[in-house]
Each structure stands twice: as structure tokens, then as C-alpha cells.
Structure 1
Amino acid sequence: MDAQTKQDWMTIRRDNTTSALERAYEESLTGFTVASREGKRITLKEGNTFTEFVSCSYLGLEAHPALIEAAHQALGTTGLHLSSSRSAMRPVYLPQLESLLSEIYKGCGVSVFTSTTSVHLGVLPLLGSNSLKGYPIRKRAHWLMDKTAHASMQVLRGIFQQFGEVTRVQSTDPESMSSALKKCAERQETPILLIDGIGSMSGLVPIAQLSRQLEAVGGYLYVDDAHGISITGCHGSGYAFAALDNQLPHNMILAGSLSKGFGGAGGFVVVKDPQDIPSIQTLANPLVFGHSIMVPILAANVAAAKIHLSDEIESLQKRLWANVRQFDSLTHNRLLNAGVQSPVRGAFFETEEGGLQACRILRNNGILMFPVFYPIIAKGKAMLRFAFSAGHTETDIRQLTDSLGEVTSAGLWTAHTSTA
């Protein structure tokens, strides 16, 4: 198929998307409008109260009194927003937050963005254009896009192609990686592997192994660890950093989220050498042309960072993993990700209708979760995604387990058997 007739990715997605998600919206099986909440109990605008396994705030820090108080104080002293790029004007909380994050990441360079997606959009073009002195590119970049990398990176393929070829790889498949790296070597290109640390739907990636593999050929590893931040590692540094013995290799860049386990909102990048930070802050498009995080949230991020640097973070991590282990035990390790150090579990369905029927049963039992369909998973399939938190109680987890038992009894679900 030539360039004139080749379909763009959005057209392909549109043409392959069914009405399953639309039906889920119509039946209020997803797209919930929350009127209020207390812990993991949320009351929807219709007045009904449910236990939710939807939120990615894995430690429950978004409701922590210290974060709420910090936001209130900032609102009173600075107002809601300094509507300006950081080069023109920034709240005092921004340098405070970056300094605290540098403590968490042991002296590495850190810069804060409004989202993890903005990190990708700002940092990766700098990397590909040889604008970061700590990550020199020989001849030309060659992007190796892991097939399970987050959509926020996949969608930037057209931008990446301005700096080098893009090849999709399966990072956990030695043959796929070997073939791609051989091609880069033959062309004297610098391979840059783009991956997630903990996937939003399933699985972990062997960070240390991949870092060494890329280092051996002069390549770089870029890790989006949005779902791994806070839930593990010293001071909540995250899955990827902990997998590297809390030392960032010279050939790796880490992108993290402040909007999930961290408890606040925004994103950040971690680079090995702080001397690369001025280039990021003066050249990255989202920082040069975009506004900073709204002031009360930025202040809450500072409060969250202080909690991360205290003993409290370890206590919250222990509660999260105790809840996850309890669920795995009660469900006999039958869900996707069972036994894996991820706060996400998944129930897979061979048909979209089966997934929708399961949603109805869970909702009738007072449980809300996130049902997903194509393009997040294969066309025609369905998955119910459950996100666990330190804020869930034993009663919450048993409520979910019993409800999944009803789904099984209805003949809708053939449970996955974990090999962990």
C-alpha cells in the first residue's frame, strides 16, 4: 500500500472500534461522575454509593491531611494559578519540589512538567536531536518502540521520525531485540528503547537487563514508570529506580508521574547529570510554551514529596502490598498479574458482551472498576481492570472477591492461571 492510500492510525482505530465502550457509558458501567467520596467509597451524581477499584492513587495520598492543608495554604497566599511559563514566572513550590525529588533520586537532575505525556513530548525530541550532553547521539537516533509502551509515547511516532527511524519491538523477546540492535549497529545508529516500567494493564519489564543490553551497544533506555512511582523503592522512587539498586545508569532517562501513587498531579523527568536540566528547561516545548502546575496542586506535591522522604511512605507501601496479596490469595492467583509486584489486576473476557455482563454484576454488587476494550486490548475482547490501594479495607477486597465469584458462577469468566 503506497503512502497516498495508507490509512492513518486514527482512521484504523476508528474503523476497528465497536460500540462496547459507548454501551458501557450509556449503562453507567464506566465514565462515572463522582459527587463525593470518603476513602474508597464514592457517591455518584445519581446518589448511589459504591466501592471503587478505578483510581490509580495507589497509596491514597490524594486525601492525606498534609496535602489538603498545603493546597489550602497556597490557595490563600498565591491564588489558584500563575498563568505563565516557568521561564517568565513560577511559584516558589516548583523549585522546592524539584529539590525534594532530587533527594529522592540521589542527586540526579530532575525537572517537573504538567504531565508525564508532556515529559515525553518535551524530552524525547531533545534526546533524538542530540541536545542533551549527557546522552550523546552518534550519527542518528533509531527509536525502538516497545509494543506495550504507553499510548502517550506511541502517538508521538511522527515526531520521532524527524530524528530517526522508528521500529516496533518486543523488549522481552531476545530475538526481537537482537534483530533491532543488529540493524542499528550496521547503520551506526544510536538505539533508544522506549518502554513502560509497570504497565497500566499488565506486566513488569526487566529494567536492569535492558539497561545493560543497551549499554553494550551504546544505546539508551527511556522508561515511563508512571504506574511504578511511589508504590515501591526507597522513598517511593519507584519500580524502575529500585530495579537498578537506586542508581540511575548513565544511559537511562526516567519519566515519572505525580498523578498516581504520588498523590498530586503532574509529571517529572530524571536524568543522570543535573547539567542536562538547563537544556531541558530552556528547550523543551511544554516548559517553554506551557504553563506550570496550578499552585495549590504544586504545594500539595511538595507535601507529598516530604511524606516520601519520611518513614510514612514505607508504611503506606506495606498496606498496599498486603491488600494485593490478600486479593491474590482469595482469588487463588487466577487474575492477570497475579503474584506480580503491580497494583493492577485484570479479568480477561473472550467477548465484549461477556465483559459488559460482568460489569453489570459487579455494579449490582456495589463495585466499580474500569472496563477496557479495543484499542487498549485486542479487538473483540474485554478486560476488567482493578486498581488496588493502601486505602482499601479487608471488607472491600472480600466484597470484590465475592462479586467475581458470581461472575464465574454465571459462566462469564474463565480465569487466567498465573505462572508467577
Structure 2
Amino acid sequence: MAKIKHNNLLDTVVSVMTNAKESGAIHLYAEGDYMNGRQVQIKGKKLFHFGTTGYLGLEQDERLKQGAIEAIQNYGTEFPLSKSYISHPLYAELESLMTEIYGHPIVITKNSTLGHFGVIPSVVNDGDGVILDHQVHWSLQSAVAPLKLRSVPVEMIRHNNLDMLEDKIKKLQSRCQKIWYMADGMYSMFGDYAPIEELMMLCDKYPQLHIYFDDVHGMSWKGKHGSGYVMSILKKLPDRVILFGTMSKTFGASGAVMVCKDKEIQQRVKNFGGPLTFSVQLEPGSVGAAIASAKIHLSDEIYTLQDELSKRISYFNQCLSQTDLPIIVDNDSPVFYIGAGMPETGFNLMSRLMRLGFYVNIGFFPAVPVKNTGMRITISRHNQKEEIKALTDALAEEFPKALEETGTTLERINFAFGKRTKPTHRSKVRSSKLNLQSFSSITEIETELWNTTVGKNGFYDWNGLRDLEKIMSDQKYREHNNQFYYFVVKDENQKCVFATFVSFGIWKEDMLAPQSVSIALEKIRKDKPYYHTSTCLCLGSMITEGDHLYLCEGSPYWKEAFNLFLDQLEKLEKRLNAQYVILRDFPTKNESIKSFLHKKGFVQVAMPESAVYSNFKWNTQEEYINTLSKRSRKHYRDDIEAYRDQVEIQIQQNLSKTELDKSFQLYQAVKANNIGLNTFSYPYALFEHMNSSPQWEFISLYLKDTERTLAGVMFCYKNSNAIYAPAIVGMDYNYARTYNVYRQLLFQTILRAKDLSQSRIDFGLTAGFEKRKVGAKIVEKCAYIQARDNFALEALDWLRKD
């Protein structure tokens, strides 16, 4: 089994956030001796604050401050004891007030994250199932993860996709007692809402369906007594709904609150709710502030505060309506999202706004898809009309400049967000010294140009791609058909600065996922062969491996050349409706490429390591063995030399129909046993072509038994640049381990390349451990990916947790 490194979502997130930090967008520190909510000081500069989640501004209310002060003076800074034993004196009053706000049983929690960790395992039983909206808050998703250890099925749907939700309900209803759908009431990035009324209709249709709402961003600024957005729609809490609100945002204090209609559930959570049982309770100061806020919520004043905020929201909407800014969701919530598209555009615009005296949040991966970076602007009662108008004017003035400076357009941003509008701003061509040419076939490109740039690798020299174009067309199955596109950028002296090719086809979304994920998916694909597959625009192709891109990084124009290509790639993506764009097989340690592509909206993911061999400074087999390390020489003696008398090696230019069929079967066996790099199988037409092409040959390993069994075959390509590419391997697993067939084939590949006077062997991806034993150099590889949304990434991550 090939040993490959799999991607961990956390690794990808850390990489992206590091880039955001370096750009000055996150991990900032507020300064100053006091705060008033209207402004925040960062790096010595006072900025108007449009990033708060305290929409009503209650965190600066003198009554809340005084409530906290008095509580601390009377009861100390904390009450260090679990609530399971004793609650400090103010808790009873707060619980009474919160019960009055919601009109139903409640449980106070330290915060919403700990609340979810306490409540979800308590209310979801082993016989239940869970369905998540893929944009539901991270804290809730984290609390659901441990349920997998109890064999609770967890499914995920695309954001607010009720058709998909109903399909999942039907899938689970025969094996689950209760089906919990978990969603936000108001979503924190775009400020959009859950379709509450439609969800209640589904509850009527499916008695097993229960709803778990995280309404922490809808709290206080909406609803009777500030009970939140969900309650503003529901009016009364249904039997099968659990609601979470928070006192840590608009409420102005700390803590969170669970609300349910079922007294039995409330007592179950209160009696044994994990961290709610064992964690220290809210500090007296937090409870004192919360009590003061609750009294405001239970008075008519809350409606005055809500109305004041509503007027500011309406005014901002009015100001924005007079601009061309891409507002992603139109609604009446205090959260606005201005699309920027690429991260570098978002970072650029944020920097411009801060220089002009405005602070806004930036939305970026993984909170939003990588090309959905944007300005997350929040409105609060602290914001006055003059600075709201000034922010709008600044956005209208600086947004086109940010587009210009980062080489993008409003049209591209709208496409990234799935919006269709006429282009307004266009980026200027910064230099006339480069010329990009695009082609639909390798036959349109000069052979020498290609073979001295991209074609110096693998089996995608000019001849190889000419044949691949024919093979990957007019095939029976969708996955065996590709469209090829070629790009060449030359400078003013007609020197090639950039060259590459891309292909368009269907890929498995779990190609780089852990083996366990692919095994689970392949079971489903027996009935649904295209389950979790997507159309992909990929550097290189599904079949090829290696350096698919020629880039003259020594040229002062390499970034501009790359930009020209990315612009054309986006047009292709739009025309072909590709769901993924993958730039693959880059050296992991190339920091300049990494930084460049991160800013262009690509997320780096690990790929299986590659291997090359080029140490041909030996003449005899004995001399070659001596080039190996001491440990590798032992492996040679134990795993290769020990079986030499039991196998026969043949170099074959052509195979009989019987031999070719058998070789294809051996390839399929390897494919089935190496699901770690999960791709579609190659078409039989490729192997037929190998058998007729002078550039392909077969290293066949036969057993010296009575039947002369074919136990292994290496399918090798002779590149026009003296590069040997053992591109595909086939093995009979009845004999693979007994005779160390794979190591035998690797060894014979090196001997054959030497006989042919080849300068390098491109061993390709996976099995680096095995290739290292025969002297190959291991090269860490990565890919850079863009996706329309994060659904597949997050859904597969849930499968990984099984």
C-alpha cells in the first residue's frame, strides 16, 4: 500500500492564516486607556469601529458596568466552584430573568462553545442522526464531532439547501429515532438567515426532525425582549426546537443560554452537561452585567435600542445602494459583506480603509471559500451617520483602486460569488512587454519550444501530449474524456517566460483524502459512480505527473506572466463551469510561488511525495549498488538479489493481445489496492496506445514457474529529452510480497534507464519509501486549489472523522 501524506484541514487553515497575519489583517492588538465603542485604536491610530458584534452597544452601557462592579465588590472576582454544588447568589436572579425573556426553561452556560459541548452530547442519543448546514458555526461542528465515536451518523448539506436536507432526512429516517438539523439563525459572515418558516414546514412533514439553532448573532437586536432572530420568526418555541443565544455579543455581558420547551431536557442538561457540570461558573462580574442587561431587555427600552440600530442599518443600505460595490447578501441584519474575491484584494482594501481611519473585519478561508474573501462590516448603535457615510465614500473611492492594484475586476468578483452583473471596473495592462498565446492542441505549438520547456518532464513532451489528446476523447465514460488547453507567454524578445497546459474533466473529490474516506465513498460509488465527484480544471492532467509548468522565475516579469495565465484560467473556469481549479505538483518549499498563489486565492494542500533518480555516474551493476546507502544495500540483498534466480525480466516493445489484457488487469489490481491516491482508472485505450507507440515499452517480470506467470509490469515512457518515465505499474498481489515484485521492478527500471543512456528517471508520485531504497531522491510536492465553496472540503473532513 502506497504510503502518502494526507491533508489535515488544520494544516491548510494555519498556512492561510499565517499569510493573513503577515498581511496585517488579523492578530492585531487594540490600544489605549479606555474604549467607547465608537472607535478602536490600533498601532497608535484611532479608527472608527465597524467590526464589533455588540450591535446594540450595551457593552458600554453604564448600568452594565455598574452591575459588574457591584457584583465584584460584593462577591469577588470569581466564585471558584462548579454550579453542580453551589451557584453564587446572583445566579438565581439571572436564571429567572432569562426564563422571563424566552418564556421557556433555560440553562446558563459559560459561553456558547462550552454550551454546545455540554448540550449536544446530552440531547443527541445513540440512536439519533445529525445533519449540519455546512456554514453552521465552527463551535457547533466541533461539539458534534465526538458523536461519531458513538456511531451517530453525521451528514452535511450545502448552505440552506432544503432539497438536499430533505434527501438526507429520507436517508436517515429508517435508522434514526430523531434527526437533528443544526443551523445558525443568523450566519455571522454574510449576515443571511436560516429559512425558519420552511424548516418548520419540514418538521410538520417529518415527525423525526428536530432543529438545533445557534442564534448567537441574532440575539438582542431582534425579537420580543431581544430574544433573537429565530424567536422573531417563531414567536413561540416549538416542541422539537432547541435554541442557543449568547450574552457575550449584543447582550453586552458574558455567558450563553440554552432554551428548550422540554423541562426534562433542561434538567438532563443541567444535571449532567459535561463541561457545564465540571467547569467553573460565570464570574460574579459577568452575572452582574448580565442581570443589568436582562432588565433592559425586559423593558420597553429594548425596542428603542433595536429601532435605533435598525435606522443605522437602513441608512447604510441606502448609502450602499448608490454605489457599485458588490454587496453579497441584501438584508436587514447588522452584518454586511463586500466581496473582494482574491485574498490580496481583500488585504489591500482593508489596508486602505485602515489608513483612512476605518476598521472592518476581513472574511477569509476557511470562514468563507478562498475566493470569497471580503470586507465583513458590522453596524452598531455606536456608529453615527457621519462615519457611516464616510465609510461608504471611502469604500467607493478605494475599492476600484484595490482592484486596479491587484489586477482584478468587479466582474471577476461577482463571478466568484455567483453573481451576474455587467463589468464596471477593468484592470489596466501594466506592461506591453509580454504576450500570452493560447492553444487548443499541442499540434499548434512548435515542437522545440514545448520540448525545451514543459516537455522536459514525464510523458507529456510534444509527442506524448499529441497522443494523449487522441486517447482522452470520444471515450465511453465521462472520466476518460478530457479537454486540453495550452498557454505560452513570451517577452518582448520572444523568449518564453511561461508555458503550461491544463485539462478539464471530472475528478474524485477525495483524491487526496485519507484511505478510510475513499473506502467509504467507494462503497457508495458502486451504486452512484459519480458520488462526490466534480468538474475540475487542472494543471497537467489526471494521468500525468511532474512539473507541468515552465516558469522563468529569473525573469522580472514572471509574476505578470503568471497573472496573465490566471486571468485566462478564470475565463476558462467561467466558460466550462469548473467546480475546482487545481494547480498541482509544485515543490512544497517554493516560498515565492506559495506566497504569490495564496494572495491569488489558492489554498495549498499536500500531495504525495515525488521521486527522481539522476545519479548515473556508474557503469556496472556493482558500482550502482555501491552508490546506495548501507541500509539500502541490505534491502537490495534481502529483497531483490535474493529473488533474482526465481524471476525473469523482459523488456518488451509490444505485447500480444493476451499479454496486454493481463497487464491491464495487473494495473487495475494495483489501482484497487492503492486507494490512498484515489483517481479514476485509466482507459484501456491508453494501454492499447502504449502497445503501438515506439516511445512506450514494458518491463515485464515473469516467475520461473511452470506456467511462466506474469507477476508484474512497469509501463515506461521514453521522453524526447532522455527522460525515462515509469508512469504506471501493474502487479499480481498473489505474488507481490512473496517475490518483492515492486522493488524488483524499480531496480530493473534503473538498469534499463542506464542501458538507454537516459539522464533522469521521473518516478512520479507515491511510494517514496520504496523508491528511496533504490537511490531515488524524494521531492515533497503540493497543490494549490480553488473551490466554488467549502462544502466538499468540510463534508469529506466529516467522513475522515468516522
Q: TM-score, normalized by length of structure 2? A: 0.48
Shift in Å, 1:410: 1.1
Identity %: 26
Q: Which residue of 2 aligns with 1:50?
A: 47
Instruction: Tell whether 2:219 aligns with 1:221.
Output: no
Q: Distance in 2 between matches of 1:360 and 1:11?
A: 26
3-state SS of paired residue (2:198): helix
Structure 1 gaps of 5+ residues are 131-139
Q: Which residue of 2 aligns with 1:142?
A: 129
- Residues 219-368 of structure 1: matches in 2 within 5 Å? 219-244=209-234, 246-332=235-321, 334-336=325-327, 338-368=329-359
3-state SS of paired residue (2:321): coil
3-state SS of paired residue (1:370): strand
Shift in Å, 1:3: 12
3-state SS of paired residue (2:336): strand
Shift in Å, 1:350: 1.8
Matched-pair contact (CA < 8 Å) for 2:121–2:144: no
- Residues 4-403 of structure 1: matches in 2 within 5 Å? 7-14=7-14, 17=16, 19-24=18-23, 27=24, 31-35=28-32, 36-44=34-42, 46-106=43-103, 108-129=104-125, 140-163=127-150, 164-170=152-158, 172-202=160-190, 203-217=192-206, 218-244=208-234, 246-332=235-321, 334-336=325-327, 338-403=329-394
Q: Would the alpha carbon gap of residues 411 and 71 (structure 1) be closer, same or farther in structure 2, given more than 3 Å must change?
A: closer
Provide Cα deviations, 1:184-214, integer angstroms capped at 9, x if missing partner.
Answer: 1232442100100000012111113213313
The aligned amino acid for 2:280 is H
Shift in Å, 1:158: 2.6
Q: Would the alpha carbon gap of residues 2 and 176 (structure 1) be closer, same or farther in structure 2, given more than 3 Å must change?
A: farther
Matched-pair contact (CA < 8 Å) for 1:191–1:214: no
Shift in Å, 1:269: 0.1
Provide Cα deviations, 1:319-377, integer angstroms capped at 9, x if missing partner.
Answer: 11111111111111755365413110011112111111101110111001111221111
Matched-pair contact (CA < 8 Å) for 1:54–1:386: yes
Q: Distance in 2 between matches of 1:67 and 1:105?
A: 20
Matched-pair contact (CA < 8 Å) for 1:29–1:359: no
Q: Would the alpha carbon gap of residues 410 and 342 (structure 1) be closer, same or farther in structure 2, given more than 3 Å must change?
A: same
Shift in Å, 1:273: 2.4
Q: Distance in 2 between matches of 1:23 and 1:5?
A: 27
Shift in Å, 1:215: 4.1
Q: Distance in 1 between matches of 2:143 and 2:348?
A: 35
The aligned amino acid for 1:377 is V
Q: Would the alpha carbon gap of residues 171 and 247 (structure 1) be closer, same or farther in structure 2, given more than 3 Å must change?
A: farther
Q: Distance in 1 between matches of 2:301 and 2:268?
A: 35
RMSD over aligned CA atoms reads 2.4
3-state SS of paired residue (1:369): strand
Q: Which residue of 2 aligns with 1:135?
A: none
Q: Distance in 2 between matches of 1:338 and 1:158?
A: 30
Q: Distance in 2 between matches of 1:6 and 1:253?
A: 37
3-state SS of paired residue (1:178): helix
Shift in Å, 1:170: 2.7
Q: TM-score, normalized by length of structure 1? A: 0.90
Shift in Å, 1:12: 4.6
Q: Would the alpha carbon gap of residues 12 and 49 (structure 1) be closer, same or farther in structure 2, given more than 3 Å must change?
A: closer
Shift in Å, 1:89: 2.4
Provide Cα deviations, 1:110-136, integer angstroms capped at 9, x if missing partner.
Answer: 011011111110111011127xxxxxx
Provide Cα deviations, 1:130-166, integer angstroms capped at 9, x if missing partner.
Answer: 7xxxxxxxxx111101111001122234312134110
Matched-pair contact (CA < 8 Å) for 2:223–2:229: yes
Q: Would the alpha carbon gap of residues 79 and 145 (structure 1) be closer, same or farther in structure 2, given more than 3 Å must change?
A: same
Shift in Å, 1:48: 2.0
The aligned amino acid for 2:378 is A
Q: Distance in 2 between matches of 1:13 and 1:33?
A: 24
Q: Distance in 1 between matches of 2:317 and 2:266?
A: 42
Q: Distance in 1 between matches of 2:168 and 2:26?
A: 42
3-state SS of paired residue (1:228): coil
Matched-pair contact (CA < 8 Å) for 1:371–1:384: yes
3-state SS of paired residue (1:162): helix
Question: Could you say which structure has the higher strand fraction?
Answer: 2
Matched-pair contact (CA < 8 Å) for 2:128–2:176: no
The aligned amino acid for 2:310 is W
The aligned amino acid for 1:179 is D
Matched-pair contact (CA < 8 Å) for 2:53–2:378: yes
Matched-pair contact (CA < 8 Å) for 1:198–1:205: yes
Q: Distance in 2 between matches of 1:406 and 1:23?
A: 25
Q: Would the alpha carbon gap of residues 3 and 230 (structure 1) be closer, same or farther in structure 2, given more than 3 Å must change?
A: farther
Shift in Å, 1:56: 0.3
Q: Which residue of 1 aligns with 2:661?
A: none
The aligned amino acid for 2:95 is E
Q: Would the alpha carbon gap of residues 111 and 399 (structure 1) be closer, same or farther in structure 2, given more than 3 Å must change?
A: same
Q: Would the alpha carbon gap of residues 5 and 28 (structure 1) be closer, same or farther in structure 2, given more than 3 Å must change?
A: closer
The aligned amino acid for 1:87 is S
Matched-pair contact (CA < 8 Å) for 2:129–2:176: no
Q: Distance in 2 between matches of 1:30 and 1:204?
A: 28
Provide Cα deviations, 1:274-317, integer angstroms capped at 9, x if missing partner.
Answer: 34322111110122110111111111000000000011110111
